[in-house]
Structure 1
Amino acid sequence: MKTFGVALLAAILGYVVGLFGTMVGIELFSSNQHDKSLEAAMTGAFVGGPLIAVISMIAILALRRKRSSEK
């Protein structure tokens, strides 16, 4: 249960990092002039955030599994 809690926390933090990281990236590199802020918010919320959340959860689960098998 502790592993699940840590993985869930990593996913939540990963989502926040992915959300804001994607928003900053879109604001810096997008050539869209009409609705750049909307593009940044939607891409961050529906692409960057979930992607980083899943990656961070998988990474934590893999690290915890590796650590528990070494004992």
Structure 2
Amino acid sequence: MRKLLYCLAGLIAGYVIGAGLGAAAIQLFSGNTHDKSMELVMTSAFVTGPIGAVIGLVVAWMRGRKR
């Protein structure tokens, strides 16, 4: 049960961090001028957020395994 909670927390934290980093990257590096807000939301929600969630899940699983 403890490992499950660690993994769930890692999944959520990873998604939030990944989405935030993706949004920051789009704001800084995107040359899109007419729909930058849509690009920011879609990239954060469907690309960088899920990548961050998977990374967070793996990190939480590895940390939970050591205990």
Quick check: TM above 0.5?
yes
Identity across matched positions, percent: 42
Q: CA RMSD in A?
A: 1.0
Q: CA deviation at 1:14?
A: 1.0
- The answer for unaligned runs of 5 or more in structure 2 is none
**Mapped contact 2:10–2:60 kept (Cα < 8 A):** yes
Aligned equivalents of 1:44, 1:7: Cα separation in 2: 21
Count of aligned positions: 67
Q: CA deviation at 1:63?
A: 2.4
Aligned to 2:56: 56
- The answer for unaligned runs of 5 or more in structure 1 is none
Aligned equivalents of 2:3, 2:29: Cα separation in 1: 37
Q: Normalized against structure 1, the TM-score is what?
A: 0.87
Aligned equivalents of 1:34, 1:28: Cα separation in 2: 15
